[in-house]
Amino acid sequence: MNDKFAESIFHRRHVVCGIRLHPFTFAHAAALDFAGSPYASLTGAATLDDVVFALAVCRAPGAFPIQLPKVGFFKTRIIAKAVYRAGLSEAHAALMAYFDDYNCPPDMWQQKGSRAVRVPWPLYFVACLIRNGRMTQKQAWETEVGYGRWMCAALAEAGGNEIAVISDAEREAMKEAGYG
C-alpha cells in the first residue's frame, strides 16, 4: 500500500498542550482558511494567536455547518495559558505533526496545461466529493482532509481520467536518485 495513503487512513491520537484535537476535516480547513490562518496553507511562521486559534478550531469536531470558535482574551485564555506553558515552538511543532498526519494527499506529477484552482481549496475538494462521490454536503465537509483528497483522486481515476499520482516504484527511484 502507498505509504501516503496509509498515512491518510491511520492516525494517532493528537493532544497538543493538553488539548485533545479532533480529526482534521475539510470543515476545520475551511475555518482556518476563512480566518487567514497560516495553518490553512501549512506555510509561514505562526504567532501565539495563530496557534491558539488553530487549537480552538481543532479541539471542536470538524462538523458542518462550519462554526468559527469564539476568540478573545476571555474566551481563549485557557488555551493561551496552556500554549505559554508548553512553549510556542513546541506547540507549533505538535500542531504541524497533527496537520501532517491528517493532511497527506497523494503526491502528483505536475501535468502540462494544469491550472490553479481559484476557489478556496477545501471547497474544491468538497465539491469533488459531492459531484463524483455522491456525498451529501455534511458528509463531504466532515471528511478527513487527507482521505478526502485521496478519494477525489481515486474518483477521478475511476471516472476514466489519467491521474499522475507518483507510484511506489517512482518514489523508490526518487530515493535512489537522492531526493530523500
Q: Does 116 bind other proteins (CB under 8 A)?
A: no
Give the Å distances, CA to CA, from 104 to 22, 84, 112, 122, 136. Answer: 16, 29, 23, 14, 23
Q: Does 170 bind other proteins (CB under 8 A)?
A: yes
Q: Does 172 bind other proteins (CB under 8 A)?
A: yes
Dihedral sign from CA coordinates of 20, 23, 25, 27: negative
Instruction: Identify whether the C-beta of residue 149 lies closer than 8 Å to the C-beta of residue 106.
Output: yes
User: In angstroms, rounded to a whole number, what is the distance separating the alpha carbons of residues 44 and 170?
Assistant: 29
Tell me how many degrees the CA angle 37-4-111 measures, rounded to the nearest 5: 80
Looking at beta carbons only, is 161 or 167 nearer to other proteins? 167
Stretch that binds other proteins, among 27-35, 85-93, 141-149, 167-175 (CB under 8 A): 167-175
Looking at beta carbons only, is 43 or 110 nearer to other proteins? 110
Instruction: Identify whether the C-beta of residue 144 lies closer than 8 Å to the C-beta of residue 23.
Output: yes
Q: Which of 107, 120, 140, 145 binds other proteins (CB under 8 A)?
A: 107
For the bound state, the minimum distance from the C-beta of residue 4 to other proteins, rounded and expressed in Å, comes to 13
CB-based contacts of 18: which residues, under 8 Å, 6+ apart?
82, 86
Looking at beta carbons only, is 65 or 113 nearer to other proteins? 113
Q: Does 174 bind other proteins (CB under 8 A)?
A: yes
Q: Does 3 bind other proteins (CB under 8 A)?
A: no
Q: Does 163 bind other proteins (CB under 8 A)?
A: no
Return the closest-CA partner of residue 140 out of 157, 160, 155, 118: 155
Stretch that binds other proteins, among 29-37, 52-60, 132-140, 163-171 (CB under 8 A): 163-171
Interacting residue ranges for other proteins, rule: CB under 8 A: 107-111, 164, 166-167, 169-170, 172-174, 176-179
